[in-house]
């Protein structure tokens, strides 16, 4: 049954339906509706909600709860996400699951409270210390949250790694029809490593300090093997009108929504523009780009930032194709018609320079 719901609230509901039993969070705009919704909904569903004293406390509560076996979640934005980076590094090193939601706002510093895409680097490069990765999922609609949220909990449990949901302030606030009927609660997985007290088994521990550098190296390679597995198995993306495209826009999340509006106008004028929408920002759908560049020469990267995902596009294409870029940082959201004009200009330039099929 469809109901009108904001992204933040839908995210909270999807979390509860996905089996999240513990939520810890600290207020920060533009994600407060998640915290407030969980304060009402989670205890009513038999779970535990704590408003923590800081985002640092929240991520560490997630760590403790995960170590004790729970599906735990926290959410934040901007400065609060920066505070969580140490905890995320520890979650990875401890091989603990956890879902961390970033409802991105303009940055850096205190920034703005408007939705933006300014934390792509932080999310995908790992803003914390050490060699590590987290799965990063980027929803583009309120309905898509009902698939992304259970997927996040499922991947976190399966790979014993934290998962970041990279939403944004527009998605968080906007209201769209959403239907939870298709949401499947991820099955519980066996977690023999959980700390429950040493009853009927030898005591066990969870820690990440390894003084011996050779052992620390081996631990790192073990984590890397896990990340390679995730790269092989968990890439997700959407393609839209790419089969005959002379130019493929690459955009994610709210950027992709704006891009679709622009592409509709371009197509109405006969311009063959398509869209590649990464859903996993890490692992990045590099294989999809490498496939597309065999037939399409021009890629137009659009982000609501000064240019972060564009670097992953460059890395994926390895010098092939032509990359165009348009970015707006600070929480400015161009209208589809504005983006359409800019893409149209680049499209014309690309056609003049020799288009499809050229490598």
Partner 1 sequence: MSTVFQRPKLLKDVDFHYCPGCGHGIINRLLMEVIEEMGLQEDAICVAPAGCGMLLYNYFEIDVIESAHGRGAAVATGIKRVRPQNAVFSYQGDGDLAAIGTAEGLHAANRGENITVIFVNNGVYGMTGGQMAPTTLLDQVTTTTPTGRDADLAGHPVRICEVFSELDGTAYLERVAVNKPAAVVKAKKAIRKAFRCQLDGRGFSLVEILSPCPVNWKMGTVEACRWIDDAMLVYFPLGVFKDAGAAGAPAADEEVEA
Contact flag: residue 153 with partner 1 (CB under 8 A)? no
Count CB neighbours of 177 within 10 A: 12
Residue 109 Cβ vs partner 1, minimum distance, rounded to whole Å: 21
Residue 104 Cβ vs partner 1, minimum distance, rounded to whole Å: 24
Contact flag: residue 336 with partner 1 (CB under 8 A)? no
Q: Which of 8, 12, 24, 305 binds partner 1 (CB under 8 A)?
A: 24
Contact status, residue 133 vs residue 126, Cβ threshold 8 Å: yes
Q: Which of 1, 46, 109, 198 binds partner 1 (CB under 8 A)?
A: 198
Site string for partner 1, 209-228 (x = CB under 8 A): x-------------------
Q: Which stretch binds partner 1 (CB under 8 A): 135-143, 198-206, 238-246, 319-327?
A: 198-206
Rounded-to-integer distance, Cα 211 and Cα 191, Å: 27
Contact flag: residue 67 with partner 1 (CB under 8 A)? yes
Instruction: Annotate 24-64 with DSSP letters as a single string.
Output: EE---TT-HHHHHHHHHHHHHTT-EEEE-SSHHHHHHHHHH
Task: Name which of 150, 51, 47, 129 is nearest 84 in CA terms.
Answer: 129
Q: Which of 90, 120, 284, 340 binds partner 1 (CB under 8 A)?
A: 90
Contact flag: residue 195 with partner 1 (CB under 8 A)? yes
Residue 128 Cβ vs partner 1, minimum distance, rounded to whole Å: 10
* Strand-pair category, 273-278 with 280-282: unpaired
| Residues 291, 135, 186, 39, Cα dihedral to 10° | -140
Residue 45 Cβ vs partner 1, minimum distance, rounded to whole Å: 15
First to last CA, the chain: 48
**Residue 178: in which H helix or E strand, if any?**
strand 175-178
CB nearer to partner 1: give 1 or 198.
Answer: 198
Contact flag: residue 208 with partner 1 (CB under 8 A)? yes
Residue 129 Cβ vs partner 1, minimum distance, rounded to whole Å: 11
Contact flag: residue 241 with partner 1 (CB under 8 A)? no
Contact flag: residue 207 with partner 1 (CB under 8 A)? yes
Kindly determine how many residues on this chain lie close enough to bind partner 1 according to the rule CB under 8 A: 40
Contact flag: residue 54 with partner 1 (CB under 8 A)? yes
Residue 150 Cβ vs partner 1, minimum distance, rounded to whole Å: 20
Contact flag: residue 45 with partner 1 (CB under 8 A)? no
Q: Which of 11, 38, 66, 247 binds partner 1 (CB under 8 A)?
A: 66
Q: Which of 10, 11, 15, 63 binds partner 1 (CB under 8 A)?
A: 63
Residues 6+ apart with CB under 8 A from 129: 85, 86, 89
Task: Name which of 299, 289, 288, 351 is nearest 325 in CA terms.
Answer: 299
Q: Is the dihedral of CA 103, 105, 107, 113 positive or negative?
A: negative
Burial of 77 (0-12, 13-18, 19+ CB in 10 A): buried
Q: Rule CB under 8 A: which residues touch partner 1?
A: 21-22, 24, 48, 50, 52-54, 56-58, 60-70, 72, 86-87, 90, 94, 195-200, 203-209
């Amino acid at each position: 049954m469809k109901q009108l719901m904001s992204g933040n609230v839908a995210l909270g509901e999807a979390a509860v339906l996905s089996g999240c039993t513990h939520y810890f969070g600290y207020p920060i705009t533009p994600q407060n509706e998640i915290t407030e919704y969980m304060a009402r909904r989670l205890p009513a569903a038999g779970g535990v909600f704590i408003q923590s004293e800081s985002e640092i406390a929240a991520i560490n509560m997630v760590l403790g709860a995960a170590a004790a076996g729970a599906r735990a979640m926290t959410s934040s934005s901007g400065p609060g996400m920066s505070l969580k980076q140490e905890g995320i590094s520890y979650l990875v090193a401890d091989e603990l699951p956890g879902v961390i939601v970033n409802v991105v706002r303009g940055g850096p510093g205190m920034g703005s409270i408007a939705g933006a895409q300014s934390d792509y680097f932080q999310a995908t490069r790992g803003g914390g210390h050490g060699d590590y990765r987290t799965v990063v999922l980027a929803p583009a609609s309120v309905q898509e949250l009902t698939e992304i949220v259970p997927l996040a909990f499922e991947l976190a449990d399966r790979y014993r790694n934290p998962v970041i949901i990279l939403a944004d302030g527009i998605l968080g606030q906007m209201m769209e029809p959403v239907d939870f009927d298709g949401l499947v609660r991820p099955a519980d997985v066996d977690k023999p490593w959980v700390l429950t007290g040493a009853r009927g088994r030898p005591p066990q521990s969870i820690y990440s300090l390894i003084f011996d550098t050779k052992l620390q190296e081996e631990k790192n390679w073990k984590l890397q093997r896990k990340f390679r597995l995730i790269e092989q198995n968990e890439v997700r993306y959407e393609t839209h009108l790419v089969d005959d495209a002379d130019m493929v826009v690459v955009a994610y999340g709210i950027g992709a929504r704006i891009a679709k509006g622009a592409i509709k106008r371009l197509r109405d004028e006969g311009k063959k523009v398509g869209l590649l929408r990464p859903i996993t920002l890490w692992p990045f759908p590099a294989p999809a780009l490498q496939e597309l560049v065999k037939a399409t020469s021009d890629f137009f990267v659009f982000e609501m930032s000064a240019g972060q995902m564009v670097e992953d596009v460059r890395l994926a294409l390895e010098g092939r194709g032509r990359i165009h870029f348009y970015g707006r940082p600070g929480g400015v959201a161009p209208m589809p018609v504005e983006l359409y004009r800019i893409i149209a200009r680049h499209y014309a330039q690309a056609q003049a320079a020799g288009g499809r099929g050229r490598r």
